[in-house]
């Protein structure tokens, strides 16, 4: 009698952290990320203070990438980006700015501050999925996500 074992390879899920004070924008982004990669795991924070606290205290697992809104009350997106890039345990995480702003100066400034990319919020779900697909493919090329 032969026993056959089927080993299931457990693939690592890509983990994303969405930091945005707009719940609808959070959900839109989560749905697009999961539609592009159904194994994705997404965590959300309503503002920069909560996000930084959750990351520093390991309340959530360290994400593979962070999507960060610029215009939030309290700790702004830029202030949050600075905090992320100044924290040794977090500075390696790619940060994608996710904003309604299309101001070229603001885009350039956030990239110079250490953001990986700048994603202008889309009203079309298909456009958002396409942009996210491009960004995640760039992250994969750099071995920052699976």
* pLDDT tens digits, 97-138: 999 999 999 999 999 999 999 999 988 999 999 999 999 999
Entry pTM = 0.90
- At 13 the pLDDT is 86
How many CA atoms are closer than 13 Å to the CA of 48, on its beta-carbon side?
Answer: 19
67: nearest Cα among 114, 20, 101: 20
- At 70 the pLDDT is 95
Mean predicted lDDT score pLDDT of the chain: 91
Q: 15-19 and 41-45 as β-strands: parallel, antiparallel, unpaired?
A: parallel
pLDDT for 145 beyond 70: yes
Mean pLDDT to the nearest integer, 65-74: 95
Record the tokens describing residue 122, joined without a space.
Answer: 């889309």
Confirm if 72 and 21 have CB atoms less than 8 A apart.
yes
Measured CA to CA, the distance from residue 7 to residue 34 in angstroms comes to 25
pLDDT for 35 beyond 60: yes
Q: What is the pLDDT of residues 39-63, one digit of tens each?
A: 899 999 999 999 999 999 999 999 9
96: nearest Cα among 84, 105, 88, 104: 84
- At 19 the pLDDT is 98
Q: Which helix (H) or strand (E) holds 117?
A: strand 117-120
- At 9 the pLDDT is 42
- At 11 the pLDDT is 55
Classify 43 as helix, strand or coil: strand
Measured CA to CA, the distance from residue 137 to residue 119 in angstroms comes to 14
Q: Which domains does the chain have, with CATH numbers?
A: 15-141 (3.40.50.2300)
pLDDT for 78 beyond 50: yes
């Amino acid at each position: 009698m032969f026993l056959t074992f089927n080993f299931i390879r457990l693939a690592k899920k890509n983990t994303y952290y969405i930091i945005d004070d707009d719940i609808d924008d959070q959900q839109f982004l989560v749905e697009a990320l999961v539609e592009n990669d159904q194994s994705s795991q997404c965590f959300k924070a309503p503002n920069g203070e909560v996000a930084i606290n959750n990351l520093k205290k390991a309340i959530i697992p360290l994400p593979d990438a962070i999507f960060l809104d610029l215009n939030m009350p309290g700790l702004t997106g830029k202030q949050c980006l600075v905090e992320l890039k100044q924290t040794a345990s977090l500075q390696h995480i790619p940060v994608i700015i996710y904003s309604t702003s299309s101001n070229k100066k603001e885009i350039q400034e956030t990239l110079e501050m250490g953001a990986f990319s700048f994603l202008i919020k889309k009203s079309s779900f298909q456009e958002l999925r396409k942009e996210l697909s491009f960004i995640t493919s760039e992250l994969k090329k750099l071995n920052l996500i699976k």
